[in-house]
Amino acid sequence: MPTGNKLTLKRQRVEQVNQVIRIIADHGRRFFYSQAANRYASMEVDHRGKIWFIDNYSGKRIFTHETVWGGKWRGFTHGGTLRDLVKELRDYIRTGEPLHPGYLGPERFDDSNIWGYDEAAMKAVREQAGALPVFRQPVTEAA
């Protein structure tokens, strides 16, 4: 059972992660948003400190931690790249260790990104989400 302070920190980080999810959902191909259900995906922390993903299409609450029964993500409607992003976001919520900004639409060799977002949408996502504490910030040199 996590202490109250640890749980509070996790819940603060969950709010930051949910901002990232909304930024991704509001641009480009609108991953993590279901127009049919008018619903955004989100993450939450339960009273034990376990982290859950709420899928935007299925509406299912998905346990994100590894399990002894195989860790199937039943109800997860996105592919492996976004599942890996969700795992990284889970780890940020758990530990507070910021992610590398390269997780936002990983680049391909031909100047495109793996998510298929257009250049303007990808730039907006990287600027807006990348400014949040979820991602490592660039080191600025003192003058």
Say which residues have a Cβ less than 8 Å from residue 97's Cβ, sequence separation at least 6: 91
C-alpha 93: how far from chain center: 10
Which residue matches tokens 């989100």? 42
Domain ranges of the chain: 4-130
**Contact status, residue 73 vs residue 85, Cβ threshold 8 Å:** no
Average pLDDT value for the chain: 90
pLDDT band at residue 126 under the 50/70/90 scheme: very high
Distance CA 30, CA 57 (A): 12
State the pTM of this model.
Answer: 0.89
Q: Give the Cβ contact number of residue 121 at 10 Å.
A: 19
How far, in Å, CA of 101 to CA of 65, rounded? Answer: 23
Q: What is the pLDDT of residues 27-75, one digit of tens each?
A: 999 999 999 999 999 999 999 999 999 999 999 999 998 877 777 888 8
Burial label for 125, CB within 10 Å (0-12, 13-18, 19+), is buried
Cα separation, 112 vs 140, whole angstroms? 27
Angle at 84 between CA 82 and CA 32, to 5 degrees: 25
Structure tokens at 41: 């995906």
